[in-house]
């Protein structure tokens, strides 16, 4: 199916290089989704896109004129499905769903997650089976392009209904939104951006509070960050092989050929390629019988995590290409049907958001253990305690390792699956519930924590590189040394204790935006996934 994207390892970490994305008949790749959501790439709705939406809208108008019994057009919502809505109240029905459903609480959703919500709505509702007007979808695209960011409290949602309602109130000139850093009422935010609000037509309020698009959008952000994290973890692991002077035999292709997981073999190959010209690896190849688990099992653990993420990508990219609406407007022989069902269900999104958490937890716990070994004088192979210049007077990365331990603990708590939970709502009309919103929010948090873990370990690895006497131990590989040098362009060598918090944030940005990965790949080529 040509409109379903596939995972392309060569594009991981490169979303920030994309400046324009067109939604048409073909697939929207994950990196383009992130380019719009995070990096503000301009969005274009193709003529083909607008035409299929227009055809679908004409069918909804036909249904309404004929007063057909169709959920959300001529009936109430949820348990109110039994209530018939007169035609003269059709618009009020759509206004009411947006207003009444905007009941989420707490801190607002981040700008990139709001944008991911809107982009998912454009993709799902734009498939041509929802009956929303092209004008409404064009207004969403204009808001994305002009930088209008709705204020949407992010807590207390079981799917995405209440958050989506808060976001989309802005389209009708209500709610609140940021524009150029200023929080305004919805109408004023639109006017400042040169846009005009739209009253919701029949079915549009229901389309805009679909329930799963927001959670899927956030899960896609978490997936992308986790893919970048997984590939970056191989780079950091290669540095650990050198700093801890491991034996590359743990990555021997013959060994991994006997485990039938391509992701494991790929991780082992990545490390071999990154370290192909390493004098340290050549010297220590046979220096010990085998390394401790934390080194010799990196390909197995990283490979398993990548397999989880590959499975998540398969499902979430299919969700991204799907029409997740209810009812579906199905055209047929000049007429059509309103198909009432459950395409809005979030079980796919929820289950694979939970899977992302588990994948990242495995990558993260290995990073923290490598960080501990490198800063622990009893196991680090001769480096000073905590990599300090003057141990005792200086603490160096002692507490940075505490931070890693804390992050791993937080990730473990967030790995409790949301998918199996359910609380009945809407007078038991909506039961069971997949809890996709919380699953996606957890996944986004866990992915961010993984990036911080890798950033902290990278700082320690760079410090170990500085402390290594290459005349004794051999030279570093070009790929890993280039990563070291990139870090040193952002933070100076450690000569004494200083405020390390801002430096963690700096290296975290290098991880998040793919700079570490791209720097390594200049020497190794695209890493296998």
Residue 337: strand pairing partners: 330
CA distance 77 to 137: 22
Angle of helix 134-146 versus helix 111-125 axis, rounded to 10? 150
Check whether the bond before 491 is cis (ω within 30° of 0).
no
Sign of the C-alpha dihedral, residues 273, 279, 285, 287? negative
Closest CA to 380 of 403, 398, 365: 398
CA distance 492 to 485: 10
Sign of the C-alpha dihedral, residues 459, 229, 416, 362? negative
Q: What angle do CA 383, 389, 394 make, to 5 degrees?
A: 115
Rounded to 5 degrees, what are φ and ψ at 286? Answer: -120, 30
Angle of helix 478-490 versus helix 213-243 axis, rounded to 10? 110
Sign of the C-alpha dihedral, residues 119, 123, 129, 132? positive
Angle of helix 213-243 versus helix 161-169 axis, rounded to 10? 110
**83: phi > 0 → left, psi -120 to 50 → alpha, else beta; which?**
beta
Closest CA to 170 of 117, 91, 217: 117
Closest CA to 507 of 415, 424, 403, 360: 403
CB 440 within 8 A of CB 199: no
The set of residues, in sequence order, having a beta carbon less than 8 Å from that of 76 and lying 6+ positions away, is: 82, 83, 85, 93
Q: Which residues carry out catalysis? A: 71, 101, 210, 293, 296, 344, 430
């Amino acid at each position: 199916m040509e409109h379903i994207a596939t995972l392309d390892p060569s594009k991981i970490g490169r979303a920030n290089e994309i400046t324009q994305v067109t939604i048409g008949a073909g697939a929207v790749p994950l990196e383009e989704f992130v380019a719009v959501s995070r990096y503000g790439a301009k969005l274009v709705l193709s003529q083909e896109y607008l035409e299929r939406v227009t055809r679908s809208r004409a069918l909804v108008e036909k249904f309404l004129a004929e007063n057909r019994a169709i959920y959300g057009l001529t009936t109430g919502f949820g348990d109110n499905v039994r209530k018939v809505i007169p035609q003269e109240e059709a618009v009020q029905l759509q206004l009411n769903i947006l207003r009444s459903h905007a009941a989420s609480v707490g801190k607002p959703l981040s700008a990139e997650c709001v944008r991911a919500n809107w982009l998912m709505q454009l993709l799902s509702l734009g498939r041509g089976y929802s009956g929303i007007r092209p004008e409404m979808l064009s207004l969403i695209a204009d808001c994305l392009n002009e930088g209008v960011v709705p204020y949407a409290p992010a807590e207390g949602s079981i799917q995405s209904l209440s958050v989506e309602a808060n976001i989309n109130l802005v389209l009708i000139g209500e709610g609140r939104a940021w524009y150029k850093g200023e929080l305004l009422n919805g109408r004023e935010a639109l006017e400042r951006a040169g846009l005009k609000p739209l009253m919701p037509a029949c079915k549009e309020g229901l389309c805009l509070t679909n329930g799963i698009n927001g959670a899927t959008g956030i899960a896609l952000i978490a997936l992308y960050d986790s893919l970048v994290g997984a590939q970056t973890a191989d780079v950091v692991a290669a540095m650990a092989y050198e700093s801890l002077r491991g034996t590359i035999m743990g990555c021997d292709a013959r060994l991994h050929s006997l485990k039938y997981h391509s992701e494991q073999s790929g991780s082992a190959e990545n490390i071999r390629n990154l370290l192909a010209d390493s004098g340290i690896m050549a010297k220590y190849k046979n220096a010990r019988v085998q390394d401790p688990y934390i080194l010799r099992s990196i390909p197995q653990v990283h490979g398993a995590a990548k397999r989880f993420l590959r499975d998540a990508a398969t499902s979430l990219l299919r969700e991204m290409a799907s029409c997740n609406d209810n009812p579906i407007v199905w055209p047929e022989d000049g007429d059509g049907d309103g198909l009432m069902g459950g395409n809005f269900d979030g079980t796919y999104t929820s289950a694979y958001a939970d899977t992302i958490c588990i994948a990242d937890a495995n990558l993260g716990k290995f990073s923290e253990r490598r960080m501990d070994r490198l800063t622990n004088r009893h196991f680090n192979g001769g480096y000073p305690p905590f990599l300090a210049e003057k141990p005792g007077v200086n603490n160096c990365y002692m507490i940075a390792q505490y931070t890693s331990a804390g992050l791993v603990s937080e990730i473990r708590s967030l790995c409790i699956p949301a998918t199996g939970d359910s609380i009945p709502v809407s007078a038991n009309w909506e039961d069971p519930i997949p809890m996709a919103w919380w699953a996606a929010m957890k996944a986004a948090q866990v992915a961010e924590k993984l990036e911080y873990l890798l950033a902290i370990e990278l700082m320690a690895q760079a410090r170990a590189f500085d402390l290594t006497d290459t005349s004794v131990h051999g030279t570093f590989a070009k790929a890993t040394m280039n990563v070291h040098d990139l870090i040193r362009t952002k933070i100076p060598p450690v000569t004494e204790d200083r405020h390390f918090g801002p430096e963690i944030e700096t290296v975290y940005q290098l991880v998040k935006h793919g700079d570490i990965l791209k720097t390594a790949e200049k020497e190794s080529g695209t890493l296998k996934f």
